[in-house]
Structure 1
């Protein structure tokens, strides 16, 4: 059986350096870390997480709490989390709240409080005062990926600023009648996110001196089918804005399906723009402000590991950038 001594000889370093490199600890040169990992892979060496945990007093596992596993954003963040944890020889423990009607108490009362993890990443969730108290009682370093949560550090985009930029893009093209497709997500999305994106639309419209009409606020609930039905209802009622800003790409795609079903062309008849960078956005030729959820998940893990190893003494919230991807779904109004 291959042991740590074999990896040390193959990579030309001490066993202590091998241990530090495979556990993602600081003070190991990147070239050395890569050489050790390559040697371990070639030899088929798998470090014992239980032995390492006994030595360090840690579980060598990190928890991730998700509202559900059915949304692409959550799975993309989890991919980034898992990639970073595997590189540090950490295990991932998934706590799935199960969407609407899920048993949150099962996670907070019976799972997280067992202290089976060293740190915790929460995806797009808000917490009650009691849940925050429970999290604090574990002593877990905790970060949220997504919208800001009171009292907990987070990584995410500037939702209001991005929504304002998307709306301003339509205004600069000459649109004055712009509908907003948004609404809360029943599967547990942090309510700050949809509220901030609607606020960005309202601020851009008001700043341009354009009316904010109640009949131009459509409820898509961050869901393609719900969004399609909402736009159907608007069009069937005789209203037709020249542009639609959707608070997510999934809602934008639902809106486009409705427009096409009504014989309207995008962008010739109605322009559409979204936010997020959904994998299907290129298929729909949807212009969007794209974020990188996997990179945000990986960054959260790196920051938590740095705090656990003492190389970072204080975690901070970070705002991640977005980039505008023009795929031709917006144009000046006819």
Structure 2
């Protein structure tokens, strides 16, 4: 079996250089790193993760902490993060904090993190003070996506601006009777994004001089199934809204199918817009405000890698752009 010394001899570099190259450290030129990787593959050399961890005090593992892992948004983030980490010789371990109920989550504990990970990325998880204190005590760099953690880097979209774009699109089409779906109880584990979007909906309607009908504000667990069920009740009201803004594309798809099931034509009789640009939104012709979810995951992974490999633990906030994508689910207000 080949050793690290064999790789160094064939590659014409020192053992230390081989070690740095295989660990993805920056003090090796790209050409040298590639040569070392090629030789290691040729000699079938695989570094022992245990030995590397003992020597460096690093596990080369990053905790990815999510309130749900079964939802498209979080799964897309995890995939992008893992790919970016893998490109620099790191890997992700997933901590799904989902509890049995939608409005609670499991806590982050020392047993999850201690001596298991070098840092963590949180996915729209508002951290409790004792959880932040735990991360500080363990000396772990942290990067947040969505819900920010004070003093730590954060990658997010501007949820208020994004919602304002969605509502204004309907107003520009002439709609005045606009409903909303996506309200959640204040104790929900990831409340910040839903609250920001609902607040922006109310503010945009008020700025346009339009009333917000509380009966047209629907709660949801942010799934298409729940939105379809609750949307049917909304669309049976008299009067009913001529358009609905959904705080996510999955909910928008559910509401749209409810409308069609009730014999409403979309968009001739009823318009609906979402937020995200969900994987099926283009196929289904859903108008949405697009956010690049994978790009957020990559950006967060790069920030954490900078902290781990370069000691750059900044507190920058990266606000990613969003854009309106008009498809066939929105149209002028019915005559």
Aligned Cα root-mean-square deviation (Å): 2.6
Q: How does 1:158-237 map to 2 (within 5 A)?
A: 158-184=158-184, 189-237=189-237
User: How big is the shift at 1:189?
Assistant: 4.9
User: How big is the shift at 1:272?
Assistant: 1.1
Deviations 1:167-202 (A, max 9, x none): 111111221111111122899652110011111211
Alpha carbons 1:99, 1:188 under 8 Å: kept: no
User: How big is the shift at 1:255?
Assistant: 0.4
For 1:324 and 1:8, locate their aligned partners in 2 and report how far apart those are by CA, in whole Å.
53
Taking structure 1 as reference, are residues 189 and 30 closer, same or farther at Cα in structure 2, changes over 3 Å only?
A: farther
Partner-residue secondary structure (3-state), 1:147: coil
My pick for the range that moved more, 183-192 or 300-309, is 183-192
For 2:324 and 2:218, locate their aligned partners in 1 and report how far apart those are by CA, in whole Å.
23
For 1:243 and 1:139, locate their aligned partners in 2 and report how far apart those are by CA, in whole Å.
49
Alpha carbons 1:145, 1:155 under 8 Å: kept: yes
Instruction: Give the equivalent residue in structure 1 for 2:59.
Output: 59
Alpha carbons 1:99, 1:187 under 8 Å: kept: no
Partner-residue secondary structure (3-state), 1:283: helix
My pick for the range that moved more, 50-59 or 238-247, is 50-59
User: Which consecutive unaligned segments of at least 5 residues does structure 2 have?
Assistant: none
**TM-score, structure 1 normalization:** 0.89
For 2:126 and 2:266, locate their aligned partners in 1 and report how far apart those are by CA, in whole Å.
36
Alpha carbons 2:99, 2:106 under 8 Å: kept: no
Alpha carbons 2:154, 2:315 under 8 Å: kept: no
My pick for the range that moved more, 262-271 or 149-158, is 149-158
Deviations 1:25-84 (A, max 9, x none): 224445555565566556654333222222322122111112122111111111111112
Alpha carbons 1:11, 1:36 under 8 Å: kept: yes
User: Which consecutive unaligned segments of at least 5 residues does structure 1 have?
Assistant: none
User: How big is the shift at 1:10?
Assistant: 7.1
For 1:198 and 1:332, locate their aligned partners in 2 and report how far apart those are by CA, in whole Å.
23
Instruction: Give the equivalent residue in structure 2 for 1:104.
Output: 106
Q: How does 1:64-83 map to 2 (within 5 A)?
A: 64-83=64-83
